[in-house]
Amino acid sequence: MDTLFPDEEPRGPVAPAPLAERMRPRTFDEFVGQQDLLARGKPLREAIERDLLQSIILWGPPGTGKTTLARIIADTTRARFVSFSAVLAGIKEIRDVMAEAERLRRSAGRRTIVFIDEIHRFNKAQQDAFLPRVEAGDIVLIGATTENPSFEVIAALLSRSKVFVLHGLTVEEVVSILQRALSDADRGLGHERVTVDDESIGAIALYANGDARSALNLLELSVAAAPTVDGERRVDVAQVEQTIQRRALLYDKSGEEHYNLISALHKSMRNSDPDGSVYWLARMVEAGEDPLYIARRLVRFASEDIGNADPQALAVAVAAKEAVHFIGMPEGNTALAQAALYLATAPKSNAVYEAYSRAAEDAHKDVAQPVPLHLRNAPTKLMKDLQYGKGYKYAHREADAIADMSCLPSALEGRKYYEPTERGFEKEIRRRLDGWEEIKKKRRTTD
């Protein structure tokens, strides 16, 4: 496997690699988690094992196996494999790799697989440098990122890659990784006299929050700090908690994962419980959660669970996000609290969410319906000759500014997606819609 940044020659005794690095899986049989992608027969695993892989983006939180998967690919493929980090590589290094990849394909018909760790750190110009070689088939690109590729990877590169989402490991999966590390005498801690009880392993797994690397690092640190009794290191829950406190003093002692906390906040607001809402918010803020992550969740809640029952809710949530961004923390905590309390006490409706879900379902399952002619724009004579815009009724010229005109494709005529509730402002919206429907019915009867 090639690399743009080879390690320097060691000058003395080589320090042992960290436990997390030593225990990195080398085969699919050792790989834990992501079975929806990597179980036998799954397309991604089949493509890797048959050496038919195309450009992919691996998106997932830290410690879920993105780099490990790339290394398995490197060991499996017959192609030239080049790995480098977006943190260190510059545009010159990228172009050198691209030029060599083109030469290899033309002279020897050999593919080059390029693995880019933290591809989200590349700017647009750096990402653009890969595009011609991906299009020409000179390289197969594998990008790994913890950030949403929709926002961090340029559209042209994204459209030529398949995105695979890796999820945080379950507690049970992390426990199995920890137990393997404790029993493995070659790469793990099995050659040492170490005892870690089940409760301690469970506590480490909870704290790791789905991150195998974090779990193994904490296990290694806990073992190193454990007292030796009769020649044996013994790790208990108290020892693990002390180690956790030294690493992250503000982390919640019960080890709950951050998405459990955001779920508690979301569900408390949905249930119109201001006290539960502000409590879970405070738990997240005081534990050091990213305040803009919380703000984004509040914005989502405003449209998903309140919607047009109180249209002001979305404005309040967005204002809180802007306030946090503007003044920072800790001063921004009250802006978040104000928004959470407003959302908790606002009338609730998921009609906007349901309307979009139903419309999206039709968009996916039905044949793409053409836009009706009367709704099409007709800026040219040809379009007018083809009857674009024919039959369109300008609402402002109609009585009550309502035209008896369908705005859905004929195949979806009469379909109802938005059903406002009787709560909050949506009660007024329902009254309007019912009134407009009566006007349309009367006109159809008259016609």
234 bridge partner residues: 195
Confidence of residue 315 (pLDDT cuts 50, 70, 90): very high
Nearest to 287 by CA among 318, 264, 239, 254: 254
Q: Can you point out the beta strands (E) in 342-447?
A: none
Beta strands 2-3 and 56-59: pairing type?
unpaired
Q: Compute φ and ψ for 295, nearest 5 degrees.
A: -60, -40
The angle subtended at Cα 103 by Cα 98 and Cα 106, nearest 5°, is 125
Q: What is the pTM of this model?
A: 0.55
Q: Return the half-sphere exposure (C-beta side, CA atoms, 13 A cut-off) of residue 42.
A: 11
Answer for the pair 60, 35: CB distance below 8 angstroms, yes or no: no
Alpha helices in 153-193 (DSSP H): 155-159, 171-183
Q: Are 64 and 212 in contact (CB under 8 A)?
A: yes
| pLDDT, tens digit, 9 for 90 and up, residues 20-77 | 999 999 999 899 999 999 999 899 999 988 888 888 999 988 889 998 998 888 888 8
Cβ atoms of 236 and 229 closer than 8 Å: no
**Helix, strand, coil % over all residues of the chain, rounded to 5:** 55, 10, 35
For tokens 């906040």, the residue is 265
**Cβ distance 112 to 134 under 8 Å?**
no
- Which tokens in the block code for residue 194? 């170490």
Q: Which amino acid is at 30?
A: E
Of residues 287 and 38, which shows the higher confidence score? Answer: 38
Q: Per-residue pLDDT tens for 110-144?
A: 778 888 888 888 888 888 888 887 887 778 889 99
pLDDT of amino acid 13: 57
**Cα 277 from Cα 340, distance rounded (Å):** 7
How far apart, in whole angstroms, are the C-alpha atoms of residue 274 and residue 255? 24
Task: Tell me the C-alpha distance between 264 and 266, whole Å.
Answer: 5
**DSSP type of residue 405:** -
Distance, CA of 142 to CA of 153 (rounded, Å): 12
The token pair that represents 131 in the structure block: 């595009």
Residue with tokens 């697989």: 113
Say which residues have a Cβ less than 8 Å from residue 72's Cβ, sequence separation at least 6.
25, 26, 27, 28, 31, 48
Q: Of 39-43, 239-243, 271-275, which gets the smallest average pLDDT?
A: 239-243
> For tokens 């048959």, what's the residue?
50
pLDDT higher than 90, residue 228? no
Instruction: Give me the domains of the chain, ranges plus CATH numbers.
Output: 2-165 (3.40.50.300), 171-247 (1.10.8.60), 258-345 (1.20.272.10), 370-446 (no CATH)
Question: What share of the chain in percent tops pLDDT 70?
Answer: 89
Q: What angle do CA 96, 101, 106 make, to 5 degrees?
A: 130
